[in-house]
Amino acid sequence: MRIIGITGGVGAGKTEVMTYIGQHYDAAVIKADEVGYLLMEPGRECYAPIVRLFGRQITDESGNLNRKRIAELIFRDQEKLRQMNQIVHPAVKAYVRRAIAEEEKAGTSYVFIEAALLIEDHYDEICDELWYIYADERVRRDRLRRGRNYSDDRIDSIMENQLSEEEFSEHCDFEVDNSGAFEETIKQIARRMSKYE
C-alpha cells in the first residue's frame, strides 16, 4: 500500500484532486479537516479539552462546538490558536494512523491524506511521498472570490499564514499544476500513478 500526502495553498483545488483520485483509483481518501471536525463532536476526544480551553461560551444550545465563534477567537489570539492546535493535530494524526492500518488490512492500494498543515505537522513521517497541488495565485484568488465569496482581505490573511510556493516545492516529491483545465491535471496524476502500477 502506498500512502500519499496532498497539500497546497488555499484555492489550489486540493478537494477536486482528492475527489477525482477517490473515484478513479483504489484509494482511500482522508481529509484532515473533516477528521478534525469529527473529533470535535460531543463525546469525541477533542471536545472536552476545547471546552476547557475556551469555556462554555463556545458551545451552542445543543452542546455542539460553535466553530465560527472559535475561529473568531483564535483569529485574534495566537496563543489560543497554538493551544487548540496542540489538542486537535495530535488527535487527528492518531486517527489517520488508525485509518491507514484499517485500509492496509482491507488491502486498499493507496491512501491519500489531505492536510493544510501536512508539512508543518510532519506527515512525511507517515507518508511515502508528498504531493504539492499548485495553482497560480491569480487563479486561486479568483476561485476563492467566486467559489467561496471570500473578500480580498480574508484571502490576503489566509495566504499570509500559509507556506510560500518555494517552501511547498522544497518539501514535496511531486507537483501537480492545477492552474488550467482539469483535464491537464488528470494527465499529470495519471502519469504519476502509472509509476506505481
Please enumerate, by residue number, every residue annotated as part of a binding site for ATP: 11-16
**Pair 174, 129: CB distance under 8 Å:** yes
**Pair 147, 192: CB distance under 8 Å:** no
Per the DSSP assignment, residues forming a β-bridge with 175 are 132
Distances (CA, A) of 160 to 34, 84, 143, 165: 23, 20, 17, 12
Annotated binding site: 11-16
d(CA 45, CA 39): 6
111: phi then psi, degrees, rounded to nearest 5: -125, 125
Residues 6+ apart with CB under 8 A from 89: 117, 121
**Pair 174, 132: CB distance under 8 Å:** yes
**Pair 131, 172: CB distance under 8 Å:** yes
d(CA 105, CA 190): 26
